[in-house]
Amino acid sequence: MPTGPVGAQTVAVTTGVHPRVAATVALPRFAWRAVGAVMVAQAAVLTALSGRYGFHRDELYFLAAGNHPAWGYVDQPPLTPLLARLSTTVFGDTPVGLRVVATLLGAATVLLAAAAAREFGGGRGPQVATALSTALSGFILGVTHLVSTITPDLVVWLAVGVLVVRVLRTGDGRWWLAVGAAVGVGLTNKWLVLLLIAALGVSLLAVGPRRVLRSGWLVAGAAIALLVAAPIVLWQATHGWPQLTVAAGISASDGLKNRVMFVPDQLIYLSPVLVPVWLAGLLRPWRDPRLRWARAVALAYPVLCLEILLLGGKPYYALPMLLLFVAAGAEPVLDWLARRRAWRWASVAAAVGIVVSVLIGLPVLPERALGPVLAVNKESGEQVGWPRFVDTVAAAWQRIPPEQRGTAVILTRNYGQAGAIQRYGPERGLPTPYSGHMSYADWGPPPDTMTGPVLLVGRFPDDTLRVRFADCHEVARNDNGVGVANDEQGTPVTLCSRPAEPWSRLWPGLRRYY
């Protein structure tokens, strides 16, 4: 049984005791200084690199959505667009200003991961090892460099995980109130947290301790979650549950690929070097009697994976749970390395893992050298070339006679294209773009008085060009100039003489949910 040193101020975490007794068992002191140093270093690196490349297509969409505040959008609740607007308002409308919020959320992720290590009985060594592993993993670097819906979700999932672990360790049902609040906040960002709650609930029923489910505090926590999320749920209900339509579309279009890549992505995304650590943490509650109370957490991961596979969801949905197992596995892995005196080989493996994670997760390479990185992290490419893309659109716009531009429309195929034109277009003389993609469809259609030429940006189906617009011909193709094979490389720009019908009639047929 792995034990390991936990420090003079520590009493080992025990199991199999009455919850009131467990609640009085002391944990190791939290390693504030060391973990804080990791957080500061992480924030410094993320800040130094946050201006490299440029906005991501999703970030451009969040900026646009933040300018249309609402209780919801067709593809997401409002939290991430709200954070994007807050960050750019306070720190500036630049990639650096936007990504301040991502950096802060990344630091919170590291803090919570270290707190999880402490909940599992880890002293200073396991806490710092967990903090470093979290801060330097490829997935965490990638999603905390950018503002995305995943970034707040990491914090929410880890907060829920740490709080549920505390409920199970102590038996103190009052922590369900904090769990409920965290779930409620999570529901204002993404609804995926419901998959985590379902997995934990099934696992608690299967292996216990079931007594924590009989607490009146659990009901109160659920009420808090519902209260916080009520406006978002109401918005979705009154708009026909579009978020479910988007999720079904993602499953239909990407479900097979998501299922095929699920296991490889679980092994690769955090870092292959961390696989033994999180596997040790996943198995530890079954092997270590001190953590018997945490078996439901360990079982929740395969239950969650099954849920995601059945729904055809993206493999990264399950990754936040792996951070909990990194936290649980840090102590036994450090003990094993100490007994085997394997620090040299471990250091070499860690160094290789860190280099690979940094190359994949952060914008350290020249844009022209991104080719190999895109095979693992295509999101790096989606930050490249947006100003040049808008230059291409602006050059095509100049082909429209000046006297016709007052009634002309720019219509894009996706929200990234529209967001880029909205962000960089005004300084190039371009009007506000329109798009039928996601919530951009709700911000249209163009007025029916706009009967002039239509500049179509993107790969529209042939029937759209033939039926909905007149006299269409391609006038340009985008080239980002650095050879990055991202989604907009080679995007066509098509000029049509006019819409075939008033925009109010065309608009329903142009709407796209995925």
> What is d(CA 360, CA 275) in angstroms, rounded to the nearest whole number?
17
Provide φ and ψ at 244, rounded to 5°. Answer: -70, -35
DSSP codes, 45-63: HHHHHTTSS---HHHHHHH
**Beta strand segments in 304-400, E:** none
Q: Contact, 119 vs 169, CB < 8 A?
A: yes
In 3D space, the residue among 155, 131, 165, 130 whose CA is nearest the CA of residue 277 turns out to be 130
What confidence category does residue 324 fall into, taking pLDDT thresholds of 50, 70 and 90?
A: very high
Looking only at the bridges linking them, the beta strands covering 454-457 and 409-412 are: parallel
Token couple for 1: 């049984």
What pLDDT shows up at residue 2? Answer: 40
β-bridge partners, 455: 410, 495
Q: Contact, 386 vs 54, CB < 8 A?
A: yes
- Segment 346-375 shows an average pLDDT of 92
- Segment 402-409 shows an average pLDDT of 96
Determine the 3-state secondary structure of 31 from DSSP. coil
Measured between alpha carbons, how far is residue 4 from residues 11, 17, 114, 233 in Å? Answer: 12, 21, 17, 47
What would the pLDDT profile of 252-261 be if each residue is shown by its tens digit? Answer: 888 888 898 8
Of 417 and 248, the structure prediction assigns the larger pLDDT to 417
- Share the mean pLDDT of the chain: 92
What confidence category does residue 13 fall into, taking pLDDT thresholds of 50, 70 and 90?
A: very low
What pLDDT shows up at residue 34? Answer: 97
Determine the 3-state secondary structure of 445 from DSSP. coil
- Segment 470-490 shows an average pLDDT of 95
Element (H, E) at 495: strand 492-496
What would the pLDDT profile of 181-239 be if each residue is shown by its tens digit? Answer: 999 999 999 999 999 999 999 999 999 899 999 999 999 999 999 999 999 999 999 99
Determine the 3-state secondary structure of 469 from DSSP. strand
What pLDDT shows up at residue 468? Answer: 95
What pLDDT shows up at residue 514? Answer: 81
419 CB burial (10 A radius; 0-12, 13-18, 19+): buried
What pLDDT shows up at residue 490? Answer: 96
β-bridge partners, 411: 434, 456
Q: What sign does the CA torsion over 276, 282, 283, 289 have?
A: positive
> What is d(CA 334, CA 214) in angstroms, rounded to the nearest whole number?
37
> What is d(CA 326, CA 159) in angstroms, rounded to the nearest whole number?
15
> What is d(CA 128, CA 28) in angstroms, rounded to the nearest whole number?
13
- Every domain of the chain and the residues it spans: 27-367, 386-510
H-state helical runs in 425-484: 462-468
> What is d(CA 382, CA 149) in angstroms, rounded to the nearest whole number?
16
In 3D space, the residue among 177, 164, 43, 170 whose CA is nearest the CA of residue 109 turns out to be 43
Determine the 3-state secondary structure of 282 from DSSP. helix
Token couple for 352: 């290789």
Is the model's pLDDT at 26 over the cut of 90? Answer: no
What pLDDT shows up at residue 253? Answer: 80
What pLDDT shows up at residue 152? Answer: 96
What pLDDT shows up at residue 25? Answer: 60
What would the pLDDT profile of 327-351 be if each residue is shown by its tens digit? Answer: 999 999 999 998 888 788 888 988 9
Is the model's pLDDT at 94 over the cut of 60? Answer: yes
Element (H, E) at 411: strand 409-412
Q: Contact, 163 vs 218, CB < 8 A?
A: no
Token couple for 224: 């808090």
Buried b (16+ CB within 10 A) or exposed e, 290-328: bbbbbbbbbbbbebbbebbbebbbbbbbbbbbbbbbbbb
Measured between alpha carbons, how far is residue 421 from residues 235, 487, 499 in Å? Answer: 28, 16, 21
- Segment 278-298 shows an average pLDDT of 95
What confidence category does residue 12 fall into, taking pLDDT thresholds of 50, 70 and 90?
A: very low
What would the pLDDT profile of 158-175 be if each residue is shown by its tens digit? Answer: 999 999 999 999 999 999
> What is d(CA 145, CA 156) in angstroms, rounded to the nearest whole number?
17
What confidence category does residue 14 fall into, taking pLDDT thresholds of 50, 70 and 90?
A: very low
What pLDDT shows up at residue 5? Answer: 37
Q: Contact, 15 vs 293, CB < 8 A?
A: yes
Poorest-pLDDT segment among 13-22, 163-172, 304-313: 13-22
- Segment 450-459 shows an average pLDDT of 97
Is the model's pLDDT at 313 over the cut of 90? Answer: no
- Segment 115-124 shows an average pLDDT of 96
Is the model's pLDDT at 36 over the cut of 60? Answer: yes
